[in-house]
Amino acid sequence: MTHHHTGVRPATADDVAELVRLRALLFEDLGGEFFNPPSAGDGWRDALAAVLLRKLTEQDARILVVDGERGLAACGIGTVEQWFPGPHSRNGRIGHVIGVVTDPAYRRRGHSRAIMLGLLDWFREREAVRVDLYASREGEPLYRQLGFSDHPDPALCWRP
């Protein structure tokens, strides 16, 4: 059963430009060459817009937003992937929280919490057995309050 979270709504195609703007803010906040390589250019923005438009209509993603006075105040994305079931993952459905971000002008008003509560409801409806996320230093206290804990595996990545 989904609970109503005040001010939170599903994103629409009309929100795509603002979603791209907020994702760019997130990468600026995270900083460093990993999130902002000097060679990136702006092509990623068009690629992101195309993926967002497609994901708005697909069942494996949920994009939630909070409106601001002009544009979006905040957004958050959830996805569910079908992994292989195992003793630790009875159905193999793994959720991911991707890029919860609030415009600096709207921070400290509960928007990220409301978005996260909406995403957690959505993950429950899809029977995700686990939800993973990467937290910024600023976001980590909220996620821990919502029940997130350290992952048992080290987070590693490989970039071809």
**Domain contains 152:** no
**Domain contains 43:** yes
Report the alpha-carbon distance of residue 105 to residue 127 in Å, rounded: 35
Report the alpha-carbon distance of residue 157 to residue 122 in Å, rounded: 27
Q: Give 130's DSSP letter.
A: E
Please state the separation of Cα 21 from the chain's center in Å.
14
**Domain contains 107:** yes
| Arithmetic mean of pLDDT, 79-90 | 94
pLDDT score for 36: 60
**Domain contains 94:** yes
pLDDT score for 31: 67
Q: Provide the domain limits for residue 87.
A: 8-145
Q: Domain holding 119: CATH number?
A: 3.40.630.30
Q: How many domains does the chain have?
A: 1
**Domain contains 3:** no
**24 backbone dihedrals φ, ψ, rounded to 5°:** -60, -40
- Enter the pTM of the model: 0.89
Enclosing H/E stretch for 63: strand 61-67
| Arithmetic mean of pLDDT, 109-132 | 96
**Domain contains 159:** no
Q: Is residue 83 predicted with pLDDT exceeding 60?
A: yes
Identify the bridge partners of residue 86 per DSSP, sorted by sequence position: 89
Of the candidates 91, 68, 71, the residue with the CA atom closest to the CA atom of residue 7: 68
- Which tens digits make up the pLDDT trace of 138-148? 889 999 999 99
**Domain contains 46:** yes
Of the candidates 64, 19, 66, 69, the residue with the CA atom closest to the CA atom of residue 45: 19
- Which tens digits make up the pLDDT trace of 2-57? 455 679 999 999 999 999 999 988 877 776 666 666 666 678 889 999 999 999 99
**Domain contains 36:** yes
- Alpha helical stretches, state H, the chain: 16-30, 32-35, 43-55, 111-125, 140-145
